[in-house]
Chain A
Amino acid sequence: MVVAWLTSLAVGLLLSGCGGDESGVTTLRFWAMGREGEVVQELVHDFEAQHPDIRVTVQQIPWSAAHEKLLTAFVGRSMPDMAQLGNTWVPEFTALDALTPLDAWVAASPAVDPADHFPGIWDTNVIEGQLYGVPWYVDTRVIYYRTDLLRQAGFDHFPRTWTGWMKAMQEVTEQGGPDRYAILLPLNEWSQPVTLALETGSALLKDHHTRGDFSGRAFAQAFDFYTHIFAEGWSPPVSNNEIANLYQEFGRGTFAMYISGPWNLGEFRRRLPAALQDSWGTAPLPGLTDARPGMSLAGGSSLVVFRTSEHQEAARKLMAFLLDPVQQIRFYELTGDLPSHREAWNDTRLANDPRAAAFRTQLEYTRATPKIPEWEQIANRIWVAVEEAVRGNKTEEEALRDLDEDVDRMLTKRRWLLEKEN
């Protein structure tokens, strides 16, 4: 508390000199992360041309520092008017009561049509029935694979079910010799086991998200499938920092499949040798049955307005502008970030890209992870449990039971808060 107070005092002193409106012109402070923060400047110029009464100061923040910086800004009461927020951070900033609810605006505004958004990703912004952010660009995970290596193993398209997937992994490993693995599943990433558990229908947490549900049947089923891949030797038991150059290894055929997000569409194009450019493809995740693709993560970034902002109206205008499908297509061309509106996907450039098509299909099948501030911490605990089981330090049951125990402890405060409310 003392620290918080001191920080806020110091930051307040530093900032009291800046800001302020001049002669009817509203100055909006907009924080955007990484590459997006760089590129959005270009879009913002056009916005300013359309709205001479609004000036936008874009501050670019590196992703690695974004979370800390936002929280420090909150403590120091120097939040910007609006920001781009990774959608898994929305629950956290909602818990801090830092975000403006957007339901009324969305209902009244022609700029945002919820029905045109992808349902799973839209849902990540809805906390206890209220909307706190609107998806700006979307992100989910699909399979990247070497079409040539799969064809060699007798598969002319990527299998659609888990059973088929297992068969493909087995064939690719067997036919490739000692230096070939079917798939790379980095052990220090939680997204793969969690994605599989989204498909088996695990809620991940139970009792109003106050206790872990990892020993539950659904998670155990996904976990079993995952550890089986390592036990069979289809994936090397390594973390991603042990792979010095992912693209090189993929090009060499050290592994033939990889689960990843849209950012790698551009990277694979850039970094794989020209000779291989016709030999890689993407596919939606296999499902338990072939009725539909497997469920995947609902990622991406949302646009949010902060409660402390004195320019709520202007901030919404900028939001509406950035969410316009025309701007989303421009944004896609500048960054490779996938648009959140289905309408924008009809644009020929996106519609004609067969590798983006897998994402288009997958985006209809995403599910939000538990929307609580503790989720990221819990997620990071998951890969520890997975790594322990894969490396054989614990049995599967032990690893999951210990995971539940740890997660229950992490949620102590949340249980107390909920009890206090009731």
Chain B
Amino acid sequence: MSTRLTQKKARAAWFFLAPAMVLLVLFFVLPVGAGLLLSLTDFDIYAVGDPGTARFVGLQNYQYLLSTGDFWNALGNTLQYVLIGGPLSLATSLAAALLLNNRLVRLPGFFRTVYFAPVVTTLVSVAIVWKYLYHPKYGLLNFLLGFVGLGPIDWLGDPQWAMPAIILMGVWKNFGYNMLIFLAGLQVIPRELYEAAGIDGANAWQRFRHITLPGLAPTALFVSVTTMIGYFQLFAEPYVMTQGGPLGATRTLMLFMYEEGFRWWRMGIASSMAVLLLLITLIGTLIQLRWVRRES
């Protein structure tokens, strides 16, 4: 192939790539770069008025964050949500997908819609309903616990229970989405494999363990990475339900970042938190990828 043709091709490629590149640079690379720079300054409300008062502080924002209990508390809360809520959500999604994939289930379309409904419902209205479910005195949940002689639990008011309450609600709200993806993954697994295994005398568990699970591995990887990234960014649920309370028990990294940035206008600190969250999420993703690679 002549160089001229390659050049021409390359030029055409650049031409077609340009719009996307421009958008990417303008709305991603530049802001991220600006955020990175901002995280090295003490940009605050005074600097909004007079940018001259913003000082370059090096890594002080990071140092401050790593030394304050609030950050570690927020990180702990976020990890709790990711490490408990994430797997719980995946397990629920998988279980629901397996159930719906079973040919014995009647009205699969109906149940699919019902399970998916929470995903598309506005969070605020969901939160109001759940606030009533969690109400320490008149809530349905405590009413049911009362039957088995437990409780009452002050779900959103007790620092120990607030995060589990948010996790429970989050799982309920989100599992439908992953369920759909799992369903799609399940339908790709060839039926013949199950038939062959059945003839060989494999029981239901063995079929699940040796056909379904390996067959779902790529789907599971995708779902677990996207879920983890999404769960690291938990914001709306605690923002609406508890505003981070009680005693900061549900204040996540995103909520903390929002407060620092848009409530107190401490953009320097908020930016460094964004950088830290990016790094943490990146590490989480790498760990997952490494783990999957070792498994296979």
List residues of A whose CB falls within 8 A of some B CB: 1-4, 6, 67-68, 71, 74-75, 92, 95-98, 187-188, 238-239, 241-242, 244, 373-374, 376-377, 384, 387-388, 391, 393, 413, 417
Contacts and interface: CB of A to CB of B under 8 A. Distances in A.
20 contacts: A1-B54, A2-B30, A2-B38, A71-B48, A71-B265, A74-B49, A95-B49, A188-B246, A238-B154, A238-B157, A241-B242, A241-B245, A242-B154, A244-B131, A244-B132, A388-B247, A391-B247, A413-B44, A413-B53, A417-B53
A384 B243 CA distance: 13
A386 to B, nearest CB: 11
Contacts of B50: 97
B147 interface: no
A2 B37 contact: yes
A174 to B, nearest CB: 22
Given A3-B31, A96-B49, A188 B248 contact: no
Interface residues of B, number: 41
A3 B154 CA distance: 43
A98 B246 CA distance: 36
B262 A68 contact: yes
Contacts of B241: 241
B220 interface: no
Given A6-B34, A238-B157, A242-B156, A97 B248 contact: no
A33 to B, nearest CB: 17
Top 3 A-B residue pairs of the complex, sorted by shortest distance between their CB atoms = A96-B49, A242-B157, A2-B34
B45 A95 contact: yes
A97 B246 contact: no
Tell which of A74, A187, A241, A393 has the most Cβ of chain B within 10 Å: A241
A281 B103 CA distance: 65
Interface of B: 30-31, 33-35, 37-38, 41-51, 53-54, 131-132, 135-136, 138, 154, 156-157, 159, 241-243, 245-248, 262-265, 267
Given A74-B48, A417-B53, A188 B243 contact: yes
Given A1-B54, A241-B156, A242-B154, A188 B31 contact: no
B248 A95 contact: no
A413 B266 CA distance: 11
Nearest to B261: A68
A387 B242 CA distance: 15
A95 B138 CA distance: 48
A417 B46 contact: yes
Contacts of A95: 45-46, 49
Contacts of A387: 246-247
